[in-house]
């Protein structure tokens, strides 16, 4: 939609141009338009009369301003998750109270209400809440997670006004939590947002979660955990979360909020996280405190979402605010807000003392979650040669969030590439300033400059990076984010005294012929061995193996579904074979020559690192 629902000033100017006669009236009403907090609130009452059926019932009171009809809409997406989700599809039974009032659906996500001249109209509807994710709703007998965008219908053009939500909880639910301010002195479980953006940005959890509180700088922080089930270690997780908060506070030079911060930790055996200004939601397994790898993964997720309190929720790309909730809001800068966040999360887990240097760098045998694994993931993606970090950002809506079997060949993740570019940029700034400055300084200055009313453009962020580094970075950004292609690691490796490990030298006996590589991923479906992905440029790609081909035999010897890897052990690089596949039930023979599996990218410390390289490493990672 081209229409801007959020900017009263713009709206007033447009009316002036269109009709001079209206100008006087418009300017007379300007003070009211601009002072949003004086406008009459929209009030919602949300109840759960039968939570086991997964429904929330919403009664919404909309001020009409005396108009004979008002238009209402439901968002089609929610900030932070860049996909059109059509939240209106879970809305049903929309009705309006009053004898003359009437409601008619006008577009996929809009309704027109005939008010009959009433000052306020009550619109009631039900929302089906059974999608377990951080950006949708879930209601069941023991708890509810409500997000703003999938729950609250509102006035077209009426976002800049206060919003109030009153929850009517089932008797067994004792607690509700939200990043919004709680209205005290009246009915319990009542919250107030200063505008619709805050309402959408403030998920609500209701039920009987366990809550741990810690204070930093006099600000209360609440770790709110749903589903501990006697398995989760609440004490340890709250203590470690506080270490992350304190480490970020040190890096950024303070906390960006003064009221409270709420960590919604849902142990629902789902996964994911979604950032907000004064809260965030994560979903994970209740078993995650039981093993070190899973636990570091959880802390990493918390460190990622919390970093967003600065990077994206306040310091933001210019395109991400004011939001248009009815269409895509693309930006070329997701590599900054998601990629650099993905660089800092594991780094801060390490700096806070929660992971070892070997775990952070990934120099050991298990590289899960390490910098090495991020680099390896990028280097194993053929799409890095097709799509730049800026293109990946811009097309998130139609590509990253809509993956298919060919995505790996033609797209790159702005999380992964952005994280690696973040590391290279950090090294670049450190080298250019001889460790006087780092990426930390760039982020701090960017936050100071771009966390107000206006966000940053891609050009502004790049220019600021060059300003902090004190050297031109035009060529650096041209090769790392504006264009697809390989990254140059040499400068970063050299500065920190690192190198990539030559993995094949240890894994294989020297001079022995190397193991055969197919270059296809497979899955087992009802006992059939199916090709699920063909890697661009691999032996399977060259030979013409296709996704959904059923592999039946190699050289006319049957391959059982679970025995492909064992069979491939009997072949070597360069061996030529015939693969018998069933393609849409027709048997077909495909000639294929096995190739060599690309090596894994793993960082290791140079054994002959100089004392200055060791100092740079300590300066980066802490001693």
Question: What is the nearest approach in angstroms of Zn ion to the Cβ of residue 307?
Answer: 8
Instruction: Find the angle CA(378)-CA(380)-CA(385) to the nearest 5 degrees.
Output: 70
Question: What is the nearest approach in angstroms of Zn ion to the Cβ of residue 454?
Answer: 22
Question: What is the nearest approach in angstroms of Zn ion to the Cβ of residue 399?
Answer: 17
Tokens of 460: 């502004």
316 or 430, CB closer to Zn ion? 316
Q: Could you give the string, one character per residue 534-563, with x where binding to Zn ion holds by CB under 5 A and - elsewhere?
A: ------------------------------
Question: What is the nearest approach in angstroms of Zn ion to the Cβ of residue 346?
Answer: 13
Q: Could you give the string, one character per residue 66-95, with x where binding to Zn ion holds by CB under 5 A and - elsewhere?
A: ------------------------------
338 or 550, CB closer to Zn ion? 338
Stretch touching Zn ion by CB under 5 A, among 121-129, 258-266, 330-338, 587-595: 330-338
Site for Zn ion in 584-623 (CB under 5 A): none
Question: What is the nearest approach in angstroms of Zn ion to the Cβ of residue 417?
Answer: 14
Looking at the chain, the number of H-run helices and the number of E-run strands are 20, 28
201 or 338, CB closer to Zn ion? 338
User: What is the crossing angle of helices 414-432 and 611-621, to 10°?
Assistant: 130
Contact 124, 97 (CB under 8 A): yes
267 or 274, CB closer to Zn ion? 274
Site for Zn ion in 114-173 (CB under 5 A): none
Distance CA 145, CA 129 (A): 9
137 or 281, CB closer to Zn ion? 281
Task: Count Cβ atoms below 10 Å from residue 169 Cβ, excluding itself.
Answer: 18
Stretch touching Zn ion by CB under 5 A, among 318-326, 331-339, 527-535, 589-597: 331-339
Distance CA 285, CA 132 (A): 13
Centroid of chain to Cα 295: 20
Give the closest residue to 349 by CA, choosing from 338, 365, 360. Answer: 360
Minimal CB distance residue for Zn ion: 338
Q: Which residues contact 470 (CB under 8 A, 6 or more apart)?
A: 432, 433, 437
338 or 390, CB closer to Zn ion? 338
User: What is the crossing angle of helices 341-351 and 371-379, to 10°?
Assistant: 150
Stretch touching Zn ion by CB under 5 A, among 71-79, 127-135, 258-266, 333-341: 333-341
Distance CA 347, CA 187 (A): 44
Q: What is the maximal distance between C-alpha atoms in the chain?
A: 88
Question: What is the nearest approach in angstroms of Zn ion to the Cβ of residue 338?
Answer: 5
159 or 336, CB closer to Zn ion? 336
Question: What is the nearest approach in angstroms of Zn ion to the Cβ of residue 198?
Answer: 20
Question: What is the nearest approach in angstroms of Zn ion to the Cβ of residue 99?
Answer: 49
Stretch touching Zn ion by CB under 5 A, among 40-48, 335-343, 400-408, 539-547: 335-343
Site for Zn ion in 336-365 (CB under 5 A): 338
Q: % helix / strand / coil in the chain, to the nearest 5? A: 35, 25, 40
Give the closest residue to 595 by CA, choosing from 582, 611, 608, 576. Answer: 576
Tokens of 349: 């887990």
Stretch touching Zn ion by CB under 5 A, among 25-33, 319-327, 332-340, 399-407: 332-340
Question: What is the nearest approach in angstroms of Zn ion to the Cβ of residue 446?
Answer: 17
Q: What is the DSSP string of 376-426?
A: HHHHT-GGGGT--HHHHHHTTTTTTTS--TTHHHH---HHHHHHHHHHHHH
Q: Strand locations in 22-136, DSSP E? A: 42-47, 55-63, 69-73, 91-96, 102-107, 110-114, 120-128
Site for Zn ion in 217-276 (CB under 5 A): none
Stretch touching Zn ion by CB under 5 A, among 15-23, 334-342, 455-463, 530-538: 334-342
Q: How many residues bind Zn ion (CB under 5 A)?
A: 1
338 or 440, CB closer to Zn ion? 338
Residues, the chain, total?
623
3-state secondary structure labels for all residues of 300-361: HHHHHHHHCCCECCCECECCCCCCCCCCCCCCCCHHHHHHHHHHHHHHHHHHCCCCCHHHHH
Question: What is the nearest approach in angstroms of Zn ion to the Cβ of residue 278?
Answer: 16
232 or 335, CB closer to Zn ion? 335
Question: What is the nearest approach in angstroms of Zn ion to the Cβ of residue 320?
Answer: 12
Question: What is the nearest approach in angstroms of Zn ion to the Cβ of residue 374?
Answer: 14
Distance CA 606, CA 196 (A): 53
198 or 338, CB closer to Zn ion? 338
143 or 400, CB closer to Zn ion? 400
417 or 501, CB closer to Zn ion? 417
**Contact set with Zn ion (CB under 5 A):** 338
């Amino acid at each position: 939609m081209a229409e801007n629902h959020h900017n009263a000033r713009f709206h007033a100017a447009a009316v002036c141009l269109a009709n001079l006669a209206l100008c006087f009236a418009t300017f007379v009403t300007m003070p009211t338009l601009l002072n949003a907090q004086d406008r009459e609130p929209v009030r919602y009452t949300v109840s759960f009369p039968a939570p086991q059926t997964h429904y929330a019932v919403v009664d919404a009171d909309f001020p009409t301003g005396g108009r004979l009809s008002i238009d209402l809409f439901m968002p089609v997406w929610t900030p932070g998750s860049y996909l059109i989700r059509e939240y209106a599809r879970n809305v049903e039974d929309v009705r309006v109270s009053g004898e003359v009032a009437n409601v008619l659906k006008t577009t996929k996500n809009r309704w027109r209400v005939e008010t009959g001249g009433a000052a306020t109209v009550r619109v009631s509807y039900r929302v089906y809440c059974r999608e377990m994710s951080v950006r949708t709703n879930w209601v069941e007998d023991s708890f509810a997670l409500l997000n703003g965008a999938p729950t609250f219908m509102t006035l077209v053009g009426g976002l800049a006004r206060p919003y109030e939500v009153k929850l009517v909880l089932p008797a067994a639910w004792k607690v509700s939590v939200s990043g919004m301010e709680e209205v005290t002195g009246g009915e319990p479980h009542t919250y107030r947002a200063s505008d619709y953006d805050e309402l959408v940005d403030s998920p609500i959890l209701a039920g009987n979660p366990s809550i741990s509180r810690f204070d930093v700088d006099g600000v209360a922080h609440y770790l709110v955990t749903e589903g501990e089930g006697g398995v989760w270690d609440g004490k340890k997780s709250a203590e470690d979360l506080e270490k992350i908060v304190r480490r970020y506070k040190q890096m950024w030079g303070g906390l960006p909020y003064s009221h409270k911060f709420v960590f919604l930790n849902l142990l629902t055996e789902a996964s994911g996280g979604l950032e907000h200004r004064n809260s965030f939601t994560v979903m994970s397994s209740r078993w995650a405190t039981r093993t070190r790898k899973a636990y570091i993964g959880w802390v990493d997720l918390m460190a990622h979402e919390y970093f967003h309190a600065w990077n994206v929720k306040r310091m933001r790309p210019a395109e991400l605010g004011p939001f248009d909730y009815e269409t895509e809001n693309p930006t070329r800068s997701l590599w900054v807000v998601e990629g650099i966040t993905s660089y800092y999360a594991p780094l801060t887990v390490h700096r806070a003392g929660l992971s070892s240097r070997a775990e952070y760098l990934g120099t050991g045998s298990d590289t899960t979650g390490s910098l090495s694994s991020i680099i390896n993931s990028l280097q194993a993606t053929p799409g890095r040669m097709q799509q730049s970090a800026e293109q990946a950002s811009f097309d998130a809506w139609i590509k990253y969030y809509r993956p298919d079997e060919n995505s790996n060949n033609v797209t790159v993740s702005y999380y992964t590439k952005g994280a690696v570019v973040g590391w290279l940029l950090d090294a670049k700034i450190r080298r250019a300033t001889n460790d006087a400055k780092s990426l930390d300084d760039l982020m701090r200055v960017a936050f100071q400059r771009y966390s107000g009313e206006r966000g940053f453009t891609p050009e502004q962020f790049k220019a600021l990076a060059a300003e902090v580094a004190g050297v031109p970075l035009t060529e650096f950004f041209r090769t790392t984010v504006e264009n697809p292609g390989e990254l140059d690691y040499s400068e970063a490796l050299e500065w920190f005294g690192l190198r990539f490990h030559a993995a094949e030298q240890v894994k294989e006996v020297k001079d022995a012929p190397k193991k055969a590589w197919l270059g296809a991923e497979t899955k087992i479906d009802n006992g059939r061995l199916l090709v699920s992905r063909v890697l661009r440029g691999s032996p399977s790609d060259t030979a013409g193996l296709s996704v959904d081909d059923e592999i039946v035999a190699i050289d006319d010897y049957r391959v059982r579904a679970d025995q492909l890897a064992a069979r491939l052990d009997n072949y070597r690089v360069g061996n030529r074979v015939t693969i018998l596949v069933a393609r849409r039930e027709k048997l077909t023979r495909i000639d294929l020559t096995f190739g060599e599996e690309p090596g894994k990218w793993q960082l290791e410390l140079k054994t002959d690192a100089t004392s200055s390289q060791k100092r740079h490493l300590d300066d980066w990672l802490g001693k």
